[in-house]
Amino acid sequence: MIENYGIEGDIHAGDWHRQVSFLALESIDVMRKKGLSRLRPGAFAENITTEFIELPKLEIGTRIKIGKEAILEITQIGKECHSKCAIFVKAGDCIMPREGIFAKVIRGGEIFEGDRIKIM
């Protein structure tokens, strides 16, 4: 994670409010139950897939810590879907516009799969 930029090498990184995207595994499971059983984390282009955190209930401005030092601030909940993605076409629904969250990097640092995410 790079401060005020996002994840190194990510196409969505930059000087804006949606540097990092999150989606809960529980949200992916909802779509799996709608007939898309092969969906995997990352299928919605989210950077980070969480588990046991009710992401859509977090408020804008909430800060979260990932791993030992990275701190992010929630900047947006959901997003406008300008065109129907392949997931919407197959299932008639997509959860990213309602349940995906976005954040900017306040303090950078290395993060790893399995790191603990702490709501501050």
Residues sharing a CB contact under 8 Å with residue 29, sequence separation 6 or more, in sequence order: none
pLDDT one-digit tens code per residue, 25-60: 998 888 788 776 677 887 777 899 999 999 889 999
Domains and CATH numbers, the chain: 20-119 (2.40.33.20)
In this prediction the pTM is 0.84
- Which secondary-structure segment (H or E) carries 28? helix 25-33
- What is the Cα–Cα distance from 22 to 24, expressed in whole angstroms? 7
pLDDT one-digit tens code per residue, 3-18: 999 999 999 899 999 9
Checking if the pLDDT of 79 tops 90, the result is: no
Residues sharing a CB contact under 8 Å with residue 120, sequence separation 6 or more, in sequence order: 62, 63, 64, 65, 71
Tell me the Ramachandran region of residue 68: left when phi exceeds 0, alpha when psi lies from -120 to 50, beta otherwise. Answer: alpha
2 secondary structure, DSSP code = B
Give me the pLDDT at residue 27, please: 87
